[in-house]
Amino acid sequence: MKHTITLIPGDGIGLEVTSAVQKVIAATKVAIDWEIVNGGEEAYKATGKFIPDALLESISKNKIAFKGPITTPIGTGFKSINVTLRQKYNTYANVRPVKTIPGIKTPFENVDLVIVRENSEDLYKGIEHLVTDGVAEAIKVITEKASTKIGEYAFEYAKKYNRKKVTAVHKANIMKISDGLFLESIRKVAEKYPEIEYEEVIVDNMCMQLVMYPENYDVLVLPNLYGDIVSDLAAGLVGGLGLVPGANIGEDIAIFEAVHGSAPTIAGKNIANPTACILSAAMMLDYIGETSAATLVREAVAAVIKEGKATTQDIGGTATTEAITEAICNYITSAK
């Protein structure tokens, strides 16, 4: 079956890393028709809109998108484009597997975490205002509905992939009502899964635990903001942002994207690591049922990194974005 998928190149390193994805998918021979529609700064220059109507129409129609990183101008007047897309399509779960990749030097060897980040509310609602000169206020929204939904997603994920434990991360000792509601909702879900271990850890302690004993954790479920921060921290445990993939999952729409942003300081130099995007593409292949291609892509990434001849600077090598991509494609082609 041919799949039509929206491709959003995005800003900064976006074009380089999404081109890598197109090449890798071509090597797998999975029939994907990319509908390329940009969003972000590049789109703004061309159309005067950060999120052109054509982009929204394309995602609504295809239901699946692969997204490069998009820059949102800092300052008032612009709501984050990433957040807008997540809210518009209600991709309520942001899933980020963080796993040790043999061949990359890090202080840990057995990291295998899955971060399940609530993706629709919390401080990301963007409700903030100046109360008076010199005083600003932001509103944190936590609902039972969204918390239960993300809890269910986390436990169903754990069940499906044979994971042993779900850890809810919170700050309910301080935000007793909002984070309290988050915890209470997750706890109710946990009761329905007696076969899966459940625990609760306060977010500051979680950060320390993760940088000391990451191997003790399995699936983490977090409200939006803690999920954002802990994701980058977790990426650091396995070798950095160049490696960690992600998926935004909704009822019937999914948008795949790496954890990293547009990394403007390294953009256009052919040195960005495309691995995070390529592994996000593997998640997309799983999602559309192309599981053997997904496995092959992961195998190719692992083999190329382990061999270490064509790795990018961020993971200790000297290869270009194009060179590592070519090595991954060659592995796939010769394995087929």
Number of residues this chain uses to bind ligand ATP (CB under 6 A) = 17
DSSP class per residue in 66-101: EE------SSTT---HHHHHHHHTT--EEEEEEE--
The verdict on whether 11 is a catalytic residue reads no
* Nearest residue (CB) to ligand ATP, 272 versus 300: 272
* Nearest residue (CB) to ligand ATP, 185 versus 325: 325
**Does 317 sit near ligand ATP (CB under 6 A)?**
no
The token duo for 56 is 């929204």
Q: Which residues contact 186 (CB under 8 A, 6 or more apart)?
A: 147, 148, 150, 151, 154, 168, 200, 221
Residues of 42-55 as b/e, b for ≥16 C-beta within 10 angstroms? bbbeeeeebbbebb
Could you say which of 44, 124, 217, 331 is catalytic? 124
Residue with nearest beta carbon to ligand ATP: 261
Cβ at position 71, least distance to ligand ATP in Å? 5
**How far is residue 297's CA from residue 291's CA, in Å, rounded to a whole number?**
10
Cβ at position 69, least distance to Mg ion in Å? 8
Cβ at position 82, least distance to ligand ATP in Å? 9
Residues 55-74, one symbol each (x = binds ligand ATP by CB under 6 A, - = not), give --------------x-x---
Could you say which of 53, 61, 164, 204 is catalytic? 204
Distances (CA, A) of 23 to 229, 277, 300, 302, 326: 31, 12, 13, 17, 8
Residues 12-51, one symbol each (x = binds ligand ATP by CB under 6 A, - = not), give -x---x----------------------------------
DSSP letter at 214 equals G
159 CA to centre of own chain: 20
**Does 98 sit near ligand ATP (CB under 6 A)?**
no
Cβ at position 93, least distance to ligand ATP in Å? 21
Q: Which residue has the tokens 């396995």?
A: 238
**Does 261 sit near Mg ion (CB under 5 A)?**
yes
Determine the 3-state secondary structure of 247 from DSSP. Answer: strand
The verdict on whether 89 is a catalytic residue reads no
* Nearest residue (CB) to ligand ATP, 40 versus 52: 40
Q: Which of 79, 35, 37, 72 is nearest to 54 (CA)?
A: 37
Residues of this chain that interact with ligand ATP (CB under 6 A) are 13, 17, 69, 71, 241-242, 260-266, 272-273, 276, 314
User: Which residues are known to be catalytic?
Assistant: 124, 171, 204, 228
Residues of this chain that interact with Mg ion (CB under 5 A) are 261
